[in-house]
Chains A and B, each alone.
Chain A
Amino acid sequence: MSSGVGSTERNPRAGAAFAGAGAGTSLLEVTDLTVRFDTDDGTTYAVDKFSFTLGRGEVLGIVGESGCGKSVTMLSLLSLLPPTARVSGRALFDGFDLLSASPSRLRRIRGREISFVFQEPMTSLNPVFTVGRQVGEVLRRHLGATRADARRHAIELLDLVRIPAPERRVDEYPHQLSGGMRQRVMIAMALACDPKILIADEPTTALDVTIQAGILDLMRDIRDRLGTAIVLITHNLGVVADIADRVVVMYAGRKAEEAPVEELFAHPQHPYTIGLLGAIPRRGVDRLREIPGIVPSLSAPLDHCAFAARCPRADELSWTEVPELRRVRPEHLVACFHPGEEGTV
């Protein structure tokens, strides 16, 4: 692992054609990922045969409503779910199956090869230690850095995530920083070991809008400078439009639609995607459209289209069979019996 944190030599993977979404060898290849939770209340089918790939240096957006299985999908890859979870499928990371990895092997991958940034910057830092120590802890754990080295690298990392006056901030406690600053610290921690994949789970949801833009800008910059592949989990298509190369829309634990970002925004096929796009605030649109109804309970395996109850296009077929993914354009997949842009169906 290179030690030149924050320096320009640190981006051996940068410069490649990142926009070549999904093409070539993929860094992460998830096949038929299925996650169930066996609880006293019965079984919840959280994720159902979900497959996706992530290319090197690619930014993949995973979009969906709360409870659609976005976070569960990513947490399951590193066995970060509670013990009630039953995970099956395959997740090849650089050719190595994460789902059958030993706990100690996983611990070495977590935070070093694949790292997480969570939604709650206000509570994701330990209140009793300075931010410098917390960033340094990751370096010391994974790279065996000395205390002095860790501190120096921590300052460089805080600078990398554009925290002003990092020499002073490094000795401050989390409660002295604002939410946006704390999220930057979390990103610095996640980037400490130059991971190949950064998984950001709703990184901007808890922040106000101006700060959101700054964080997204930072993530884009990180991809460009360090070549880190990013998985951005969000319920907000607007956020995805800003920085993702490719988007996967999830609904009720399944993939509803997948396409490069421009394609998805220009030619959305799945009625759910169209519904989500209608819910983005835009100038000139007086009233946001909502998607009627709620996300279905996942207490039984689906035997029909999960979106049928909320879908204007639902017909008898939707209620009797589960739609398989089909390719409508070379890089555009959709799981719907009646795909098509609004007004064409």
Chain B
Amino acid sequence: MSYVDTAASDVLSPRARRRRLRRRRLARRPFAIAGFVVATIFALAAILAPWVAPYSASATDFNAVLAHPSSTHLLGTDELGRDILSRIIWGARASMQAGVLATGLAMAIAVPVGLVAGYYRGWVDPVISRLTDVLLAFPFLILAVGLAAILGPSLLNATIALGVGAAPGLIRVARGETLALREEDYVRAAVANGASDVTILFRHIVPNMASTLLVQGTVTIPAAIIGEAVLSFLGRGLQPPTPSWGVMLADAQSYLSQAPRLAVYPGLAIFLCSLSFNLLGDGLRDVLDPKTTR
């Protein structure tokens, strides 16, 4: 009788072996690592803002209005003499919060809805599918701006608007995955062995689509970060003087010719932050996909 030879790696538990394999796969993908590092730096900056920011976000220095970068103000100051680096660090809070919470909200909406549509089919599926089709016909940002306009400007409302705006795409993913997974042999075997719908959904379908959802999540986060910046830029998100990258961009408009760096630095922050999450997401997709051989 043949069985898998485990002599070579007997010392490690199966779980540890899988983890090691994933680490190796990740190590072969420098862009994913870079994305992970940069995303972590932004996350830490957001969490540790009170300690790492050299100044308060609202502290004004009227002796250095629109100052060039110097040793006291590493990235210079804005029209009110506020330290730009500090405002970017504090602004990371709003961006991260919007990015992560909006994605979490979108998941919380999309996963149950997608599961119900994909698993039960019947009349529910076409209703949900056509509804998502309609919502997907609106560009994500237009939808979010519209919702934010209805809800009123605040970080919480911007987050809700972005989360709801991102949900239709995720519903489609969750439904598609459910449709594919419910046909798996192990699902049929579980049904034949007396599993209930709840068991099938939460022990067989959700765990098997977790990696897809994780990857979708890491690409939804940058979309929501950009979304927050856009909403704030348009005055539908955070309101000045609260630090936010979008607010900073909006404020920079009047000084573009004198001090373009006021727009460049927050723009760069948005760019780097989204890029890092996208690279991380791409890397995760490769690492978590069991069909990848390297």
Contacts and interface: CB of A to CB of B under 8 A. Distances in A.
A341 interface: no
A296 B16 CA distance: 54
A333 B248 CA distance: 88
Given A118-B188, A120-B185, A186-B189, A141 B195 contact: yes
A138 B207 contact: no
Contacts of A142: 194
Contact of B207 (A115, A124, A128): A128
Interface residues of B, number: 27
Given A109-B194, A127-B290, A178-B3, A171 B14 contact: yes
Given A118-B188, A127-B208, A130-B14, A112 B194 contact: yes
A28 interface: no
B33 to A, nearest CB: 25
B253 to A, nearest CB: 50
Contacts of A162: 1
B2, B3, B4, B191: most-surrounded residue (chain A CB, <10 A): B3
Interface string A75-88: 00010100000000
Contacts of A177: 3-4
Contacts of A171: 13-14
A338 interface: no
A116 B208 contact: no
7 contacts: A110-B192, A123-B184, A127-B290, A130-B14, A137-B195, A141-B195, A210-B1
Contacts of B2: 178, 180, 211
B199 A164 contact: no
Interface of A: 78, 80, 107-112, 115-116, 118, 120, 123-130, 137-138, 141-142, 162-164, 171-173, 175-178, 180-181, 186, 189-190, 210-211, 214
B73 interface: no
Contact of A211 (B1, B184, B190): B1
Contacts of B184: 123
B203 interface: yes
Given A123-B184, A128-B208, A178-B3, A172 B194 contact: no
B72 interface: no
Nearest to A190: B193
Nearest to A79: B191
A177 B1 CA distance: 12
A176 B192 contact: no
B220 to A, nearest CB: 23
Interface in B183-233: 184-186, 188-196, 199, 203-204, 207-208, 210
